[in-house]
Amino acid sequence: MEKYKQMIYSRIESTYEGWLTAEYIREKELYRFFHNIKGTAGTIGMSGIHDTAEEKLNLLAEDSERKWTQKEWKPLLSELLPYAAVEEIEPVEEEKLEETKAEPSVPLILIIDDDVEFAAFLKDLMEDNGYQALIALNGEKGIELYYEFSPRLVILDYCLPDADGVELLAQITEKAKHDFTPVIMLSANATQENRIKSYQLGAMDFLSKPIQRELFFPFVENRLALQERIWTSALQDELTGAKNRKFMIGEMKSLKEKMERSEVERFTLMLLDLDHFKKVNDTYGHVIGDEALRHFVRELLKVSGPGDLVCRYGGEEFVLVLPNTTEAEAYRTSERLRTLLEKEAVPGTKDLKIQFSAGLIEVLGEAPHSEEILEKADKALYAAKKSGRNSTLSYHSSMEDSAGKGVVHIIIVDDDIVVRDIIRHYIERRTEMAGKVIRFHSYQDGAAFLEDEWYVEGDYFFLLLDGMMPKIDGIEVLKQVREKYEKENILVAMLTARKGEIEVARALEIGADDYMVKPFRVREVMARMERLMERVFS
């Protein structure tokens, strides 16, 4: 951290000296300077500078064109100069740089509430208590995040700007029931009528605002424990009728035992993934998206034999286990399925036809562990998608190299060189994240990023965008990215030094998946990024 602190001191001194030669400084320039200093200083443990910068920010307006004379602005910066001159660094324990581990088991909570301040408060509260939380400020975004991230629990405000909570509850209640997802209604107007209506539509609970912290977290833990017990006892996917992952793992274990007793000579596992399924939901809506999943399973069952197992592996991924079947025979099965899907549109639509990619792995002799079999099938599936989708490929050993894992580009766009350097320092100590090979890129402003050829077809991306930058700010970058590129392989988190209602709301409404407030601990940012990638890119 010593190096970064010296960089902060140098920036304060060079800015001060540079401004001494200027006739005047615009207020928005002062604002940007203190905004950046505050975020970076707090991140690297310089609390004195952070607090001073925060105090000065309260005196300035972000977009003001007012011209400050030297006599006016010098007192503001002068309070920072003693730090740079003395160069006394308060002791801060440096974060150890060992590789962070993903925590996909951390429960994800979705908060749907148009009150930004309350939603941000509740998000912070959840994350301080070991949960991961995402925010939607309206019903439309809430539904999108619900289908995209499959949260463990939904907290839903009774009154929303584009649709009241009850109307939204009616839209997600069927899927919530299928997934055994608790939906908790919140309202400051907890009348008996509102409670009755919510319970009738499928809400598990109705809580009054303000929430009582002492009761809230035991309550959440109780509901998640109940959900876990239900999941453990269930063996079938409620939405599609296919068997679920738990049942599949048990059957694969049974197959392995039969192979050891020579009752089964071999089996082939096929991992199937629907191509561009996110686009189906975005274009036709989630009701049709659910129907597409059911349609896919019905057609898959038609090409399956009596002893075959059809399982929903998760989201739009499915597994077909074919006992006593060779890889070549399994391939022909996949092509019969492809032919059926090309002939039949999804019910309720005129022209929506499903395509899929698949990976095959034939298991002979001593069967490896189920996870190893699935990992190899996943590598073959990735290769099929990389080769253009709508195809089936068999696993072979050449897929074990790094290219078979997929590539995730971690991109930071921030005009603060210290922040860019800190993130780079941590990322470059990792070779993989969320099972994918890391490629790191940094840009000093939005214009440089947008002008570069950064997008690679078939790869994955996690963008960290600073909200306030010269030329083109983070919000405009976010807007252009969302307008130009498909969302399914791009995650975006905004970096901001403020929890202000306007900035957070704009980012979430335009399409940010998350936001992170400066100052932050880099290790926590990395863990948060990896959990999101595990859920979306895996």
The CATH number of 245-400 is 3.30.70.270
Region 296-307 average pLDDT:
95
User: To 10 degrees, what angle do helices 27-43 and 47-57 make?
Assistant: 150
pTM for this prediction: 0.66
% of the chain with per-residue pLDDT over 70 = 91
Question: Which of residues 1 and 246 earns the better pLDDT score?
Answer: 246
pLDDT recorded at residue 100: 43
Report whether pLDDT(1) > 60: no
**How many Å apart are CA 465 and CA 472, to the nearest integer?**
11
Task: Report domain extents, the chain.
Answer: 2-86, 108-233, 245-400, 404-537
d(CA 528, CA 526): 5
Residue 312 in this model has a pLDDT that exceeds 90: yes
CA distance 56 to 30: 9
* pLDDT-derived band at 8, boundaries 50, 70, 90: confident
What is the overall mean pLDDT for the chain?
86
Other C-beta atoms lying within 10 Å of the C-beta of residue 434:
22
Whether 289 and 281 have beta carbons less than 8 Å apart is answered as yes
Tokens representing 95 are 């974060």
Considering only residues 421 and 94, tell me which one the structure prediction assigns the higher pLDDT.
421
User: Is pLDDT above 80 for 262?
Assistant: yes
Please give the residue that has the higher pLDDT: either 235 or 363: 363
CB atoms within 10 A of CB 224: 16
CA-nearest of 169, 144, 141, 149 to 107 is: 149
Alpha carbon distance 73, 5 (integer Å): 23
pLDDT at 404: 53
The stretches of 344-416 forming alpha helices (DSSP H) are 370-386
Domain with residues 404-537, CATH architecture:
3-Layer(aba) Sandwich (3.40)
The whole-number average pLDDT for the span 486-494 is 90
What are the respective helix, strand and coil percentages of the chain, to the nearest 5? 50, 20, 30
Distance of CA 407 to the CA centre of its chain: 16
Q: What is the pLDDT of residue 92?
A: 38
Span 162-178, average pLDDT: 76
174-179: which pairs have CB atoms within 8 A and are 24 or more residues apart? 174/290, 175/146, 175/147, 175/239, 175/286, 175/290, 176/202, 177/202, 177/238, 178/237, 178/238, 178/239, 179/150, 179/238, 179/239
Strands 183-187 and 25-26: unpaired
96 versus 200: the higher-pLDDT residue is 200
d(CA 299, CA 529): 37
Q: Is the pLDDT of residue 95 over 60?
A: no
Is-contact 206 198, C-beta < 8 A? yes
Confidence of residue 161 (pLDDT cuts 50, 70, 90): low
Which of 24-38, 219-233, 389-403 is the least confident region?
A: 389-403
CATH number for the region 108-233 comes to 3.40.50.2300
The confidence band for 535, taking pLDDT boundaries of 50, 70 and 90, is: confident
What is the pLDDT averaged over residues 264-269? Answer: 93
In order of 153, 218, 219, 225, 449, the CA distances from 222 in angstroms are 12, 6, 5, 5, 46
pLDDT band at 37 (very low <50, low <70, confident <90, very high): confident
pLDDT category, 447, cuts 50, 70, 90? very high
Residue 471 per-residue DSSP state:
S
pLDDT-based confidence at residue 534 (cuts at 50, 70, 90)? confident
DSSP conformation letters of 404-440: GG-EEEEEEE-S-HHHHHHHHHHHTT-SEETTEEEEE
* Residues 169, 153: Cα–Cα separation, whole Å: 13
Q: How far, in Å, CA of 193 to CA of 211, rounded?
A: 20
pLDDT grade for 400, boundaries at 50, 70 and 90: confident
| Res 337 pLDDT > 80 | yes
H helix count then E strand count, the chain = 20, 18
Higher-scoring residue by pLDDT: 140, 412: 412
Cα–Cα distance, 52 to 80 (Å, whole number) = 7
pLDDT digits (tens, 9 = 90+) for 39-58: 677 767 788 888 888 888 88
- Per-residue pLDDT, 441: 94
Give the pLDDT score at 93: 42
Instruction: Check if 245-400 and 404-537 are the same fold.
Output: no
**What's the rounded Cα separation, in Å, for the pair 520 and 116?**
20
59 sits in which H/E element: none
Residue 391 banded pLDDT, cuts 50, 70, 90: very high
Could you give the C-alpha distances from 485 to 385, 411, 456, 458, in angstroms and in order?
Answer: 17, 15, 11, 12
The most confident of the ranges 75-84, 424-433, 478-487 is 478-487
229-265: string of b/e by CB count within 10 Å (b at 16+)?
A: eeeeeeeebebbebbbbebbeebbeebbebbeeeebe
